[in-house]
Amino acid sequence: MTSSLPPSRPLDVVVLAAGAGTRMKSTLPKMLHQVCGRPMVAWAVKVAQALEARDIVVVTGHGAEQVEAALGGMGLQFVRQHEQLGTGHAFLLAAQKLRGGADVLVLYGDSPMIRPETLQAMRAEHQGAGNALTVLTSQLSDATGYGRIVRGKQGDLERIVEQKAATPTELSITEFNSGVYLMDERAGTLAGRIGNDNPAKEYYLTDLVQLYRQEGARVAAFNISDPSEVMGANDRVQLAELETLMRRRINEGHMRAGVTLQDPATTLIESDVQIARDVVLEQGVVLRGNTSVQTGVRVGAYSVVTDSQLAQEVTIKSHSVLEGAVVGEGSTVGPFARLRPGAVLAEEVHVGNFVEVKNTQLARGVKAGHLAYLGDASIGQESNIGAGTITANFDGLEKHRTTIGAGAFIGSNTTLIAPVTVADGGFVAGGSAINQDVPAGSLAVARAQQRNIARWAVNYWRKHSADKLSQRLPWLSAWLSKQE
C-alpha cells in the first residue's frame, strides 16, 4: 500500500443520502437503519471526519428531516434533493455548497463499511499520480446491478456503464463502480454538464469519467480486493450482512487491542464502546452505547451493558442487565442483576442475583446479595441489605428517597417506606415495615409480636382422620401417636 503523502489540499466530502430505499420496506428512512448501533449515514460522516474533512455536505431527500436530526451537532451542511433524479443531480446540488480549492470525495450514506485507511491510500495514489478523478472499484464474480468498469487497451479507465445500458459483453465485466470518487475542484462545474439522456432518464454521476476525459484530465481507477468494504444495504438481508461484517471488524479490533472474546460470533460491541486491555467478555455479551470498560473486567455470558461505566476489576456475572450504571473498582454484580439508570456503585460493592437498583448510590463495601429492589436511595459504606429488602419509593403520586447510613444492617424482607432514614449502624429486624426513622445504633422492630400457642398443631393434625394421615405423612402420624 502506498504511504500517505502529506495532503497538499484540503478535502471536502459529499455524502449522498437522499435515496428512498424502498426495498427496506420501512417507515424509517434507509439511511437511519443502524449497523452496530450507529445509523448507516453516520458511519459515512464518521469516516469523513476521520479524514479530517474541511466541509462535509450531506444530500438528504427521503426522510430529510429525520436524517438531518439524527446527524445534528456533527458540524455538517445539508442540502435537500426534493426529487431523486440521480446521483449526478444529487452531487450537483451539493457542489453548490462547496467553497472550491479542495479535493472532493463522494461517499454514499448507505455504505458504512468503507475504512478511512482505504480512502487515505486512495488519496495518496490520486495525488501521487496527479489524477483529476479517481474511482474506487472492486470486483464480484456477479456484479449485477452495479455500474461496470470499462477499461481501454492500456488498462486505463475509459468509462462506467450502468446495468441498464450495458451490452452483454459489458455485463460480463466483474470490476464494478463502488460509487466512491475522489475529484479535483472542477467536479462541481463538470457535474453541471451531466445530462439524463440514458435508459433510466437519470442524471448519472458516472458521466464525470467522460467529462473529465474530454478536458484531457487524468482519470483512473483505484481497485480494492475486498468488495465487502463498499457493500451497501438495499434490503434487510444485506443490512444483516453488513451488521455481521461490521461486528466482526469491531470485535477483531478489540481482540487485537488485548480484549478476550470467548465467542466473538455471539459478541456484539457497538461502535462507540471503549474497552481496555485484559478484559474478558464471555459468550453472548452485548455492550451498547457509550459504555466504557476498564482493565481487568470480566463480563459474564449473556449480559447486556448499555451506557454504563465499569471500573477496573469489576465482575459482571451472567445474565445481568445494566443501563446507565456506574460500577466501581472491584465490585461484583449478578448473576441476574439489573442496574438501571442512576445506579452508582462505589468500590467493592456486591449486588447479587435478582437485585434491581435504580437511581441509588451504594457506598464502598455495600452488600445486597439477593432479591431486592433499591430505588431512589443512598446506602452508606459496608451496610448489608438483606434478601427481600424493598425501598417502597412510590406513594402513588411521587417518588421518595430512602437514606441508609454506613454500617447499617437491614434484615431480610424489610420494607422501607420512603421517605425514611436508617442512621449509621442502625439495625432493622427481618420482616419489618419501616416508616419511621431509625436512630444511629438502634434496633428497629416493626412487625407483630410472635405468639406460640402450645399444642395447637397437635390438635390440628389430630382432627384429620388417622388413616389419611398415616397414608400420606407416615412420619408425622407416628410422631403424633407418641404425643400426649
| Nearest-approach distance from CB 105 to ligand UD1, in angstroms | 14
The dihedral sign for the CA sequence 321, 307, 114, 44: positive
Give the C-alpha separation, 345 to 316, whole Å. 13
The catalytic position among 319, 370, 400, 464 is: 370
Radius of gyration of the chain from Cα atoms?
33
* CB-nearer residue toward ligand UD1: 167 or 262: 167
Q: Which of 402, 350, 348, 346 is nearest to 378 (CA)?
A: 402
CB 328 within 8 Å of CB 308: no
Q: Which is nearer to ligand UD1, 233 or 250 (CB)?
A: 233
CB of 182: closest distance to ligand UD1 in angstroms?
Answer: 15
Long-range interactions of 223-229: CB distance < 8 A, separation 24+? 223/137, 223/138, 223/139, 223/175, 224/118, 224/136, 224/137, 224/138, 225/138, 226/138, 227/138, 227/139, 227/140, 227/176, 228/113, 229/113, 229/114, 229/115, 229/118, 229/138
Q: How many CB atoms lie within 10 A of CB 202?
A: 17
Omega of the bond leading into 335 within 30 degrees of 0 (cis): yes
Residue whose CB is less far from ligand UD1, 86 or 365: 86
CA angle 356, 359, 361 (to 5 degrees): 90
Give the nearest residue (CB) to ligand UD1: 147
CA torsion through residues 455, 461, 467, 472, sign = negative
Question: Residue 189: which H helix or E strand, with range?
Answer: helix 187-191
Confirm if 360 and 342 have CB atoms less than 8 A apart.
yes
Of 14 and 316, CB closest to ligand UD1: 14
Q: Catalytic residue at 254?
A: no
Q: Which is closer to ligand UD1, CB of 34 or CB of 412?
A: 34
What minimum distance in Å lies between the beta carbon of 48 and ligand UD1? 14
Distance CA 181, CA 127 (A): 13
CB 194 to ligand UD1: min, Å: 10
Instruction: Specify the residue, 19 or 296, whose C-beta has the smaller distance to ligand UD1.
Output: 19
Minimal distance in Å, beta carbon 156 to ligand UD1?
Answer: 18
Given the complex with ligand UD1, which of 108 and 222 has the nearer CB atom? 108
Residues 311/327, Cβ–Cβ less than 8 Å: yes
- The distance of closest approach from Cβ of residue 307 to ligand UD1 in the complex, given in angstroms and rounded to an integer, is 30
Give the residues lining the site for ligand UD1 (CB under 6 A): 16-19, 59, 61, 81, 84-87, 89-90, 108-110, 146-147, 160, 162, 176-179, 204-206, 232
Tell me the closest approach of the beta carbon of residue 83 to ligand UD1, in angstroms.
Answer: 8
Residues recognised as catalytic = 370
